[in-house]
Amino acid sequence: MRTIHTTSEEETTEAGKNIAAELRVGDVVLIDGPLGAGKTAFVRGLAEGLGADPNDVSSPTFTILQQYGGSLPLYHADLYRLTSAEVADLGLEETGLDGILAVEWPDRWVERPATAHKVAIDDQGGDDRRIHIRR
């Protein structure tokens, strides 16, 4: 496991951008953390690192799934408002096979892949974050 300390939203975005360089087609990134921890900022960095416009990234809380272009497509799912049964019906296991799938609130996805990259963002107060990354 590796831990990154960030002190601003921009640094959290930059951490996501740096991780994007390690991703390959079909990878899944599970992003966990409380409300306001910076999950979407991290995804914004993933998008930028994959060549998509980071300004297009917003939390898909109400749309559930968004797709961003780039060198690889980035699929961004937010499962916050869903039950585990509703998530099972989404077919996430088939989403992102041609790109990268980033999932916020992954605890609702019971059948999530064991090989996924796991990102936990701990809010340390203010703008301080500890980002723990495991494969």
What dotted CATH number matches 2-134? Answer: 3.40.50.300
The pLDDT of residue 59 is 76
Give the sheet arrangement for strand 65-68, strand by strand.
2-6, 129-134, 117-123, 28-32, 100-104, 74-78, 65-68
pTM metric for this prediction: 0.93
What would the pLDDT profile of 22-60 be if each residue is shown by its tens digit? 999 999 999 999 999 999 999 999 999 999 999 899 876
Judge contact between 25 and 56, C-beta under 8 A: no
The pLDDT of residue 63 is 75
Q: What is the mean pLDDT of residues 5-16?
A: 97
3-state secondary structure of 115: coil
91-116 in b/e form (b: 16+ CB < 10 A) is ebeebbeebbbbbbbbebbeebeeeb
What would the pLDDT profile of 113-134 be if each residue is shown by its tens digit? 989 999 999 999 999 999 999 9
Per domain, the residue ranges of the chain are 2-134
What would the pLDDT profile of 77-126 be if each residue is shown by its tens digit? 999 999 999 999 999 998 888 999 999 999 999 999 989 999 999 999 99
Q: Dmax over Cα atoms in the chain, in whole Å?
A: 38
Closest to 21 in 3D by CA, of 50, 42, 43: 50
